[in-house]
Amino acid sequence: MGDPSSQQQGLGRISAIFLQTRGRLKWAAYLCSTVFVLQYLMQSAEAEPVLGTSLFRQCRPVALQKNKTEDCCLPEPEREPILFKFEERKKMLVRRPAHELANDVEYVNKYNLAYKRMKELPRDDPRGFLRQWHVHCAFCVEAFLSRYLNGTPTPYPLQLHYSWTFLPWHRMMLYYHERILGSLINDPEFTLPFWNWDNQLDAGAAQMPQMFVPYNPPNPAIDNFYLYAGAIRDQNHYPPRVMTLNFKPLEDKAGIIPTPEETRDANLCMVWNMVVNKVSAQEYLGVKYNTSADFSAVSHPNASAESGGSEILHNTAHEWVGNLNNPAFPDNEDMGVFTYSGRDPLFYSHHGNVDRLWDVWQTLPDGVTVDGTRTRKEFDDVDFLETEFTFFDENKDMVRVKVKDTLSNAKLGIMYQDMSEADSLWINHKPKASKPSFRATQLSSTPDDYPEVVANANNTIGNSPVCFKLHRRAPTKADLKGTQVKHIGELSEGVVMEKVKIPEMMYVRFDVYVDFPSANLDSDMDQSDYVGTFTHLPSGVASMESVTSQISVANEDLYRELNVRFTTGLALRRLGIDDYSTDITVTIVPRFRDNDANKTITFSNLKQEFLFRGHSGYLGFPKFR
């Protein structure tokens, strides 16, 4: 058994080692806790997960044109809200493209029956069609206050566009809308179709889907009445018109229709620019949700809001289907305004494709940054992952869903039919060769070589193209702060218009070109000097005086304040501008409607920025459920 004194000495050594190790562990834990607390204290006041819910009874009608309002307030749940849980499915549910389903008699009739039954449900049933379209109206046109996760309200209205909440919230909106439709026809495997408008390969794919309009010629075997009845749309855009993603309202109003070749090239260019060219989470999903901001009495509370490429691209389908050029419909209804979008069944099919493109974006290689080695990934901020929404399910239960539950369609049991052959056209698209670089044609490289341009001090956009000078610099290690990137070559160079003030009920669209001072309404966007388009749909903004009141009306003195970002690095390299010391011009080509011709948009600053936002660089103390 050995010498007892030796055993005692051995136990003493073990005890000493244990005490020493425990002391080191306690010290390490103390250091980690200190760092964690310091990180929490250093984060800004706005860094907080947001709660988007109709659970609390603070709701107001939303504003429309001509002092009209729409009451989109949702019913109270009958039972205590439940937590979201992933289901175990024996097989994946597959969403298929609408153009391939147009002549599937069984599917279209079943889909039509589901909407018939949804529209027959009582007004106060959260599964009914009225309340289903009110879901989008309420959460995306600021009927509720945004809240912290413990339910405490912020002073600001809730708006789930213009930020990183856009894609996750709309994904779950589709998820529950689809489940409700399936339950009404006793088909748990029912799936929504997606409007494959990015598809430039298959005939009819980018047209308004046939199943959503009267069949011409009529098909007596198909009943699709409830897929179009009551929906207000621009019938000039019915098939065989192909949706143009560079939609030009004034030309469309004048009856000028682009050729099939022009439409194809422009559509491929737009999808490439807004999906492939957006390598970071912030560029594609949008900026973090701002739960608090310093703002004036006439600005919008979600200051520093910023749409990602996904949202900006999706706006065009809203414009195309809605009555943007019809004075009989001043609110551009249905699809042309967020308030009424959800009452058109085509809205859900449109968002199916938006959701599908998010899946595609996650799989794309880099091909944009200098190094070309960047992996696309969502934000990993606690504020993003712990943000929470509530939806009514097929059993009329209110379900609490966190963003971290939404990031994988596969985990939700959903997949999209493979469209890789059609997707490859825009994934591999390259713009036509542009003219020689503007700077390269000059005799010297001094700023005096530029033609007269508007100085940055007059940061105003009117109804005519306007050109600005932009100073550039090389990225430094300081630009890596707050990112997941280790190498400067993985940063994405962009141009940011800061604090763009847009009148609340104004339709806005403008194209942006770099190193092309003379760009105008006739310029070809399918060239390297084109770097993107910004669109804004009229949606109504609440003044702070009306946030907690029972009514709100449109007010031309109110505006929405946004940052607008364009990715420029690859475009500049294609133009032969490889030297960061080369300053450039940025030309903005507005495409306003006739009734907005005398309006102006202002912004505070135009600057170069290097971006790799997938992480904010801090940790936080989430209020876990």
Q: What is the pLDDT of residues 108-152, one digit of tens each?
A: 999 999 999 999 999 999 999 999 999 999 998 888 888 989 899
pLDDT at residue 613 in the model: 55
Question: pLDDT of 16-43, one tens digit each?
Answer: 444 454 555 454 444 444 333 333 333 4
The residue extents of the domains of the chain are 55-428, 441-612
pLDDT at residue 167 in the model: 98
Residue 400: its H or E element: strand 398-402
Q: Which fold has domain 55-428?
A: di-copper center containing domain from catechol oxidase (1.10.1280)
CB 612, CB 491: distance < 8 Å? yes
User: For the range 570-573, what are the long-range contacts, defined as Cβ-Cβ under 8 Å and sequence gap of 24 or more?
Assistant: 570/277, 570/368, 571/514, 571/528, 571/529, 571/530, 571/531, 572/493, 572/514, 572/515, 573/370
pTM of the shown model: 0.87
CA quadruple 192, 197, 199, 200: dihedral, nearest 10: 150
Query: Lowest-confidence range among 214-223, 314-323, 449-458?
Result: 449-458
Is 418's pLDDT higher than 60?
yes
The phi-psi region of residue 454 (left if phi > 0; otherwise alpha if psi is between -120 and 50; otherwise beta) is: beta
Percent of the chain scoring above 90 in pLDDT: 61
- Name the DSSP class of 81: -
Q: For 398-431, b where at least 16 C-beta lie within 10 A, e where not — what string?
A: bbbbbbbbbbebeebebbbeebeebbebbbebeb
Is the domain covering 441-612 a CATH 2.60.120 domain?
A: yes
State the average pLDDT over residues 223-243. Answer: 96
**Rounded distance, CA 27 to CA 299, Å?**
49
Cβ partners under 8 Å of residue 32, min gap 6: none
